[in-house]
Amino acid sequence: MDDVAAEAQEPSRAFGREARLRCQSHFTMVREQGCSEAGRYCVVNILRPPPDGTKRAAFCISRRFSKLAVVRNRARRLFREVYRELYPKLPPSWLLFIPRRHIQKAKMQEVLQDATSSLEKLGVVLTREQPS
């Protein structure tokens, strides 16, 4: 029974309170000390190795991207899904995802491929998922 409960909680680890970048100082640190790569659908900033040795992420989607909340929320949902897919493969690092205009008409698989290629260009080695 405990194994079932652990499996049900596994995806939420990627988005729990302790797994998010929340302070402005963390955002600034990722931008200034990390590397970035711009793809067609998003800009990925990464800080490796992170100061606390954990995997953390943030999605920076402002009104400058779109004045419509539904458009911003769709971009946020796409990024959450992309991060959920990448989470088990990522080494400890802090990630910051920033959308680009083309994401408004993109499908999830296109954004996933774009983010994966950006991470590979940054030298992040994505490990294969462990079979259950």
Q: What is the mean pLDDT of each run of 10 residues along the chain (132 residues)?
A: 44 76 94 96 95 94 96 96 94 96 96 96 81 51
Residue 122 located in a structural domain: no
Residue 9 located in a structural domain: no
What is the pLDDT at residue 125?
Answer: 83
Residue 124 located in a structural domain: no
What is the pLDDT at residue 1?
Answer: 44
> Residue 49: which domain range?
14-117
What is the pLDDT at residue 12?
Answer: 54
Question: Rounded to whole angstroms, how far apart are CA atoms 100 and 94?
Answer: 20
What is the pLDDT at residue 128?
Answer: 74
Residue 8 located in a structural domain: no
How many domains is the chain partitioned into structurally? 1
Residue 52, both tokens: 């606390």
Query: Are 14 and 56 within 8 A, CB to CB?
Result: no
Q: Identify the CATH number of the domain in which residue 34 sits.
A: 3.30.230.10
What is the pLDDT at residue 131?
Answer: 53
Residue 128 located in a structural domain: no
Computed on alpha carbons and rounded to an integer, the radius of gyration of the chain in Å comes to 15
Residue 103 located in a structural domain: yes
Residue 91 located in a structural domain: yes
Question: Rounded to whole angstroms, how far apart are CA atoms 90 and 119?
Answer: 10
What angle (nearest 5°) sits at the alpha carbon of residue 89, between those of residues 83 and 92? 85
What is the pLDDT at residue 6?
Answer: 44
